[in-house]
Structure 1
């Protein structure tokens, strides 16, 4: 069964046709001029043989009457009325209006007026369209220029904001570094206090031995020299501790070449007393040929921060047989330090956050969460290295590559 094609026929846009036709009338001034000129000339030629130059007196009447129709009816209609006007004038002067030449001239002039008026109308319409496009393009150009100026202003403002933000971040970093060093300094002073306790006790015991030696009658020159040398050795050891402490916190303005093994051993010296007080066993395996270029004081802070975090985790979790291992090796062109503790590892929920500033799992007052953050900045930004952490066999492993 065939289905009839019921699709509606496309509608003609008669409104557009009328609009263009109206524009043809509106812009047909040139058509009227041609129509009027031809009729004027034809009337003059056809009437001249009989009336001579006196026909010139009738020409103003044609001009005035045609001009009136032009002004009232519009240019194109005024031009069309020139044709019947000539007919009327011909009758008035006893000339036939049915002259074949007259009709041919009239129809030619009327057709020329219509075609020329339509053509002029289209040209004027095109001119208006081009003028409108030019105005729109000019407006778009102005808008684009204004937008470009706004972008330049925004760029300048953004650069200024970025510059101010960088300065603000640098100021905050300086504050964080200072706070981190103050925390480390406090812990170091505690370690020194523990380290000095034993030599001070030894000095006190030596001083007390003088009285016993005197009572026993053995206090002689040799005894005094022997005990004095021992006291001086102990005091020199305590003095070296102060020198190490000062150099440890002395800011390094310039990078320098330093031996990692010696740097780590000095850091172990500061941390060893704290490990001993908490029964933590420290195992070290340090290669001799690892030399790097950087900031030795800041690097010592990194190792000490990792040591302190490992110690705190071991104490907090009450681990039996607590143990910290540090190993220094050479891998290709990198020196690698691996520090491991058996505190049970770090929770998977927080392990990715431990290097963030002010992140801490410790009780309030026991840590401000800056140590590991500053350690990562020191290794990765200041020494172009890498600091990572992972859990392995219920152990926490920090890996430093420099």
Structure 2
């Protein structure tokens, strides 16, 4: 049991017991799963919700008046309402989609392509995931707009003064991550979006690494678009959402055409449905969104403030322990940081290090983490990344550090 900052105690051992996969072994060793920034594990409550949908309620949504169709539609729309409450936004401003990558591409194709022109600029940051870079490059190539890059300091914090100086009249859009998937940097998105709005710049926030780990009030952030991914927040893969201001959704043409996104179709022309359904062509991942609704219930039941406090404890423990390892370099020491540690050991390639750690039962990610420009900034081809979630333990961190020490001796 633990309590932090006046919050009521949580039995984290009981919480951990909700995640069946965490009980397994890998290579004969107890699994230490430290790759939640890549994808989180799923509690039994989410797994059972998906299973129950397929066993008892499976039907398509918004197409049938029979009982199963009504149940499926209510479950799907119920997930939208739960997610909207979780983000503090209106449900009719929330487009359900496969995740952040789809969501950002939706903004790129349906908002940016019709709006931008030669001479315009898109402002990104050095720490962006490829999903928040490549769509804007496609837009720039097709419209003649240019990409500008806001840089970071040696700690991994954005240089805000320089960023605001870059918000010149030709900048029409700024896109940035709420939390860096490599550095763990928590960006002051509310302040940045306020500065963008003052200048008439539309803002897009990638919330993939924020939604699983901290309480969100998207309305208070003041952005124009906010994207999240369900599989990182203990939900199923292939789920996520885009929140957008109502005026943008109303003006944006559809990204995909097909069923459900229409009001009336004639060969002479089509009348599109109202948002958000205008952007939800075809049969959605219904069972996945039922699971995402269960994931929102699960996270809310624990409380995001408790989850954030728990993960700060784990991050502090891991940072202190890893800082004592000779030859280990940590990338990213921002003033405000989420529970992610990217690191290298002198003389060891990230992939070799991760492979040897796996033999000790420790799962970390190695590679460029879909952040090539950030790797170039630090002058390395890849790093290892340990990412923690509330279901991890202090004992797992000790086992992780012991495994690193063992691997370091092997590589010496």
* TM-score normalized by the length of structure 2: 0.21
Larger of the two Rg values belongs to structure: 1
Specify which structure has the bigger relative contact order, considering alpha-carbon pairs within 8 angstroms and separated by 6 or more residues: 2
Bigger helix fraction:
1
* TM-score normalized by the length of structure 1: 0.21
Bigger strand fraction:
2
